[in-house]
Amino acid sequence: MNSQTSTATALDAPTLREWLEKHEDLIVIDVRSAAEFESQHIRGSYNVPLPLLSEHTDELAERLGKRVVLVCQSGVRAEQARQRLGTAGLESARVLTGGVPAFAAAGGNVVRGAQRWDLERQVRMAAGTLVVGGLLAGKFVSPKLRLLAGAIGAGLTFSAATNTCAMGNMLSKMPWNRTAAEPTAESAIRQLPGA
């Protein structure tokens, strides 16, 4: 999980399970892509991918109540969503530690669908392949091609420093990460219960 998530905003999987049983007004927002959501999500959660949430933060903050838990694969994107909602006045949102996999491992009620690699795994595969490819091409084709490995390393460093991921954003638009049910701003906001 992101080290910037404070203990005051973090929520562990067993606590979320309890909250789901006790609080009818609890809203769980899954900020992963629609394809990741389709693969596995917490039963009763709503899919509002991070790019969509980022574009419509104010509208979503108005619609959400006080009990909001943000989830993703690991907690990084959920923390970004929490920070954005915080700037729009919703400061009570929590981030699920360990994401959906931690909730499932804790015996939480999840819905499983078509299985595919999560976005973070795809980023690691793409970055690793490009680095290895750049090094091999630098050895066998032209030493200048080693710059590809350096560029990927610089991109990963920038990604860590800014807590963003350009490669992840690009991969999320690939056909294998698209589903027939990609939410629009209207459908994502309309599906949420009113505050």
| Each residue's pLDDT tens digit, 171-188 | 888 888 776 577 888 888
| Each residue's pLDDT tens digit, 140-164 | 999 999 999 999 999 999 988 887 8
Q: State the Cα–Cα distance between residues 80 and 144, nearest whole angstrom.
A: 36
Average pLDDT over every residue of 83-95: 94
Instruction: Write down the domain spans for the chain.
Output: 10-116+179-191, 119-164
| Each residue's pLDDT tens digit, 38-86 | 989 999 999 999 999 999 999 999 888 788 999 999 999 999 999 999 9
Does residue 195 carry a pLDDT above 70? no
CB atoms < 10 A from the CB of 22, how many? 8
Q: State the Cα–Cα distance between residues 133 and 157, nearest whole angstrom.
A: 19
CB atoms < 10 A from the CB of 168, how many? 19
pLDDT of residue 5: 53
Topology annotation, domain 10-116+179-191: Oxidized Rhodanese; domain 1 (3.40.250)
Q: State the Cα–Cα distance between residues 160 and 163, nearest whole angstrom.
A: 5
pLDDT of residue 2: 42
- The per-residue b/e assignment along 177-195, b for 16 or more CB within 10 angstroms, e otherwise, is bebeeebeeeebbeebeee
pLDDT of residue 174: 85
